[in-house]
Amino acid sequence: MRLSEADSHALAGAPAAPSYLEDGTTVMSWINTRDHKRIGVMFLVGVIFFFFVGGVFALLLRFKLLQPGPFFIDAISYNRLFTLHGVVMIFLFLIPSIPAAFGNFVIPLMIGARDVAFPRLNLASFYLYVIGAVIAIWGMVHGGADTGWTFYTPYSSTSPTQVAPILLGAFVLGFSSILTGLNFIVTTHTLRAPGLNWMKLPLFVWGIYATSIIQILATPVLGISLLLVTVERIGGFGLFDPARGGDPVLFQHLFWFYSHPAVYIMVLPAMGVISETVCAFCRKNIFGYRAVAYSSIGIGFVGFFTWGHHLFVAGQSTFVGGAFGLLSMFVGIFTAIKVFNWVGTMYRGAISFKTPFAYICGFLYFLVFGGMTGIALATTSLDIHWHDTYFIVAHFHFIMVGASVMAFLAALHYWFPKMFGRTYPEGWGLVAATLIILGFNATFIPQFLLGNFGMPRRYYQYPEHFQALHVASTAGATLLAFGFLIILIYLAIALKYGERSAPNPWGSKGFEWMTASPPPTHNFDVIPTITQMPHDYRTHEPSGVIRVA
Amino acid sequence: MSHDAAGLPEGIVGHHFSSLARQNEAMVLGMWLFLATEILLFAGLFVGYSVYRYQFPLAFAEGSRHLNLTAGTLNTVVLITSSFTVAMAIHFARTDRRIAAAVCLAITILFALAFLGIKAVEYTEHFHEHALPGKFYAFEKVMIPGAAMFYTLYFLMTGLHGLHVIAGMSVLSWILWRTLQGRYSSRYHTGIELGGLYWHLVDLVWIFLYPLLYLI
């Protein structure tokens, strides 16, 4: 898309300040920065690195599962690998992925601020991420853990592997996540540009706001639970040890009180990304702004009352099971509202089928598929059949990889020109998107079938008649891996040799495009005054929607 | 520089805030959110306490009876008084009485030390009686199922609270230093207020711990 005439006119008038990338190039100027954009970029590098680490673990697992018997790796390494795959993907990739990387970069731009409310705290959050990662990696190298990422007691307090450093790493990462969330809430409350009231707030900001509430209210409970398991391992305190009167199920309650809402930490920002990109690539204002905004808060709220659906077979009463099942289905209502509105936005829009749009399509399909299986799983009678089988594995991968990673990739492509001022190769982008969406289906649809036939999750060996489906799943995972590798390569090349992009290559009317791409360190020469809704394509005013005060 | 920060020491208002008032608003909101996370951190332990108290009512009652009630009560008085002195410090800082504010902060820090001292005496007693958590439990006077769990929770809850007392003391010492430097005045006193808020939280958690552990 071309830059509109009014746009280039608005931008040409601005004095040329150096972009945040050129404002200091030494290592110190990065690691000692307070600039939310640089911190966002550093987070982006971190999460992409760990995405590939977790991905390699997944590939090793899938490779072993080609054969029903012992093959390639022994059972204990297999147990370690699926644990580390989960820990890395959740705590080091998914939780910080969209909020800490893209949220940091675009939220101040979207609300017309010069930075987040607490820039130093923001940098501290990044350092906590690094420290947590180092502790966890140390644990992985020195023995790893074989408990699964859920750390269920009493096994996690007695396992001979190095569970303690991994728990401690996750604990520190939790604080990084809390500080990021706290910063975004305060930023949204206190740093909005003049004229930007809550009902003009970009929907990505609404999504991150809801996410931040969950991060603040749920993560401390995870922190204390992990700390208690650590104390139990090291000190033998017996809090979750049945031999000493402890209750292992109490740990499950505490753990899922965080970890179920954590699913919404992973998916709400993704929904925010889709709300932004669907407007930009359909050139249409969002259908049902309020419904989309409030449903984010709705998901954040209801998400706190659904944790019991992880305990359907842990001795919970039928009544409690039914109540949690019903509450879980409310999430489906809020999600459906969003899906309806995104499709409504596309209807009669001028769709431009660029790479981010391909991921939007993938996202919608995976979210609906994963969400529908989630409704089925919230039904206690069905869950008893599917609990702890590959069906669950496939279900949550549809949400976490299907939905969240698609949105992450949509965001990466949509904001790549914003962040780095370069264009990525569109053709390769579409090739990779096709590979990923096909590969993902090939990986996880067989797993739905496997689970339904009774294959339990986390098993090292399996009966021979499951082999065909396992081979199909591994083949799919290989396709997926190729897709991600292609993206890594072309983006790395585009970073250096990519064509310089226009300040607003998509002609998007999202507020983050009000300033240059890449933006100068201080974001705006003059803080803009907001007069329009975000993504208002009905008028021909510049996307800047700026009327300089 | 924003209009309401003229004449204040350099660096008080961040470049990204339009005014000092707006920055104060942000800082206070940030502190309240942080306090919410602290409360939820303790909430996990309070849930554990409720569950096991429900499961072992007798052992919890017995265990509670064998705690040092005098020391616990004294500590409650010490902490409540320290909350008062920190509130006075804020009052004096707001009314430009710098030395009085510093003295009040110093008294608060001394109270915090007194609290830790009394707690250390209690812990020593428990060590001598082998009233210790989990697998180390060998307290002869209370040998009923669940008694070890009471002491596990007692140590975890008071231990985590103790760490917060130490953290609070460090924060207050830093604020004392800033007060002596003359950073807080009737025009700018957000920093000292935030320190006070944190100290009140430390106090408040104890207000819940005291009856749960010592009285009921």
Q: What are the residues whose beta carbons fall under 8 Å from the beta carbon of B127, sequence distance 6 or more?
A: none
The verdict on a CB contact (< 8 Å) between A189 and B45 is no
| pLDDT score of B142 | 79
The whole-angstrom distance between A182's CA and the closest CA on chain B is: 7
Cα gap A437→A442, rounded to integer Å: 9
Contacts of A112 in chain B (CB under 8 A): none
Buried b (16+ CB within 10 A) or exposed e, A320-340: ebeebbebbbbbbebbbbbbe
Q: Testing the interface with A: which of B19, B22, B33, B54 to mutate, by most A Cβ within 10 A?
A: B33
Record: contact A224-B29, CB cut-off 8 A: no
Predicted local confidence at residue A541, as pLDDT: 58
Contact: B37, A224; criterion CB under 8 Å: no
Per the domain annotation, does B22 fall within a domain? no
CA–CA distance, A416 with A423 (Å, rounded to integer): 7
Which of B29, B34, B135 is the closest to A238 by Cβ?
B135
Is residue A122 a contact partner of residue A185, using CB atoms and an 8 Å limit? no
Contact criterion met (CB < 8 Å) for A190 and B29: yes
| Chain B residues whose beta carbon lies within 8 Å of the beta carbon of residue A231 | 156
| Overall average pLDDT of the B17-35 stretch | 93
Region B129-157 average pLDDT:
87
What residues in chain B have their Cβ under 8 A from chain A's Cβ atoms? Answer: 14-18, 22-23, 25-26, 29-30, 33-34, 36-38, 40-45, 47-48, 51-52, 55-56, 133-136, 145-146, 148-149, 152-153, 155-156
**Residues of A (250-279) whose Cβ lies below 8 Å from B:** 250, 253-254
Report whether the peptide linkage leading into residue A154 is cis, meaning its omega lies within 30 degrees of zero. Answer: yes
Per-residue pLDDT reduced to its tens digit, A392-429: 999 999 999 999 999 999 999 999 999 999 999 999 99
Distance in angstroms (rounded) separating the CA atoms of residues B32 and B38: 10
Identify the residue with better confidence: B3 or B28. B28
Taking the CA of residue B38 and the nearest CA in chain A, the distance in Å comes to: 7
Buried-state track A209-243, b at ≥16 Cβ within 10 A, e below 16? bbbbbbbbbbbbbbbbbbbbbbbbbebbbbbbbee
Contact between chains at A238 and B37 (C-beta distance less than 8 A):
no
Nearest to B40 by CA among A181, A106, A244, A156: A181
Tell me the pLDDT band of A548, cut-offs 50, 70 and 90: very low
Q: Within a domain: residue B29?
A: no
The verdict on A226 touching B (C-beta cutoff 8 Å) is no
| Shortest CA gap A375–chain B (Å) | 29
How confident is the model at residue A16, as a pLDDT?
62
Q: CA-to-CA distance for A518 and A540, rounded, in angstroms?
A: 24
Mean pLDDT across B45-66: 93
Query: What is the predicted ipTM?
Result: 0.92
Q: How many angstroms from the chain centroid is the CA of residue A124? A: 21
What distance lies between CA A20 and its chain's CA centroid?
25
Half-sphere exposure of A96 (CA within 13 A, CB side): 41
Chain B residues in contact with A178 by the CB 8 A cut-off are 37
Arithmetic mean of pLDDT, A175-189:
96
Q: Do B18 and A224 touch (CB under 8 A)?
A: no
- The confidence band for A530, taking pLDDT boundaries of 50, 70 and 90, is confident
pTM above 0.90, yes or no: yes
- Residue A49: the pLDDT is 96
pLDDT at A244: 82
Residue B173 lies in a domain: yes
The pair phi, psi for residue A17, each rounded to 5°, is -85, 150
CA torsion through residues A458, A168, A310, A318, sign: positive
The Cα–Cα gap between A252 and A150 comes to 9
- Average of per-residue pLDDT across B131-155: 86
Q: For residue A493, give the amino acid letter.
A: I
Of A1-10, A378-387, B203-212, which range is least confident?
Answer: A1-10
Task: With a cut of 60, say whether residue A255 has pLDDT above it.
Answer: yes
pLDDT of A542 > 60? The answer is: no
Q: Is A361 on the interface with B (CB under 8 A)?
A: no
The reply to whether residue B33 touches residue A216, judged by beta carbons under 8 angstroms, is yes
Show the domain range for B113.
39-214
pLDDT single digits (tens) A192-238: 999 899 999 999 999 999 999 999 999 999 999 999 999 888 888 88
Question: Could you tell me if A315 lies within 8 Å of chain B, comparing CB atoms?
Answer: no
The whole-number pLDDT of residue B13 equals 84
- Side chain identity, residue B110: L
Chain A environment of B51 (Cβ under 8 Å): 247, 250
How is residue A387 written in tokens? 């609990």
Q: Is B98 exposed, middle or buried (0-12, 13-18, 19+ CB in 10 A)?
A: middle
Cβ-Cβ contacts under 8 Å, B62 against chain A: none
Residue B170 lies in a domain: yes
Chains A and B form CB pairs within 8 A to the count of: 121
> CB of A177 within 8 A of CB of A186?
no
- Exposure of A294 in the CB half-sphere (CA atoms within 13 A): 7
Does any domain span residue B26? no
List CB contacts (< 8 A) between B43 and chain A.
220-221, 224
Could you tell me which chain A residue has the CA closest to the CA of B49?
A239
**Predicted pLDDT at A430:** 96
Q: CB–CB of A115 and B16 under 8 A? A: yes
Q: Is the pLDDT of residue B1 over 50?
A: no
The answer to the question of residue B25 being in a domain is no
pLDDT at B133: 84
Which of A123, A179, A186 has the highest number of chain B CBs within 10 A, making it the mutation to test binding with B? A186
Q: What is the pLDDT of residues A277-326, one digit of tens each?
A: 999 999 999 999 999 999 999 999 999 999 999 999 888 888 999 999 99
Contact across the interface for B26 and A220, Cβ inside 8 Å: no
Q: Is residue B73 part of a domain?
A: yes
B112 contacts: CB under 8 Å, gap ≥ 6: B82, B165, B168, B169, B172
- Band (B2; pLDDT cuts 50, 70, 90): low
> CA nearest B61: which of B205, B206, B212, B207?
B212
The pLDDT assigned to B194 comes to 96
A229/B contact by beta carbon, under 8 A:
no
Residues A1-44 pLDDT 10s: 334 444 544 554 444 678 898 888 888 889 899 999 999 999 99
Share of chain A above pLDDT 70, in %: 95
Give the rounded percent of residues in chain A with a pLDDT score beyond 90.
76
Q: Which residues of A touch B29 (CB under 8 A)?
A: 185-186, 189-190
Mean pLDDT over A239-254 rounds to 89
Tally of domains in chain B: 1
User: Do A429 and A525 meet the contact criterion of CB atoms below 8 Å apart?
Assistant: no
Mean pLDDT of B171-199: 93
From residue A151, how far is each of A96, A139, A144, A165, A455 by CA, in Å? 20, 14, 13, 12, 21
Among B2, B16, B158, pick the best mutation site for testing chain A contact (most A Cβ within 10 A): B16
Q: Which of B17, B28, B37, B58 to mutate to test the interface with A (most CBs of A within 10 A)?
A: B37
Query: Does a structural domain hold residue B77?
Result: yes
Q: Provide mean pLDDT across the span A124-135.
A: 96
A239 contacts in B (CB within 8 Å)? 48, 134, 149, 152-153, 156
How far is A299 from A264, CA to CA, in rounded Å? 7
Q: What is the pLDDT of residue A503?
A: 87
Quick one: average pLDDT of A510-533? 88
> CB distance from A245 to chain B under 8 Å?
yes
pLDDT average, residue stretch B116-131:
92
Query: CATH number for the domain including B100?
Result: 1.20.120.80
pLDDT, tens digit, for every residue of A258-280?
Answer: 999 999 999 999 999 999 999 99
pLDDT above 90 (res A531): no
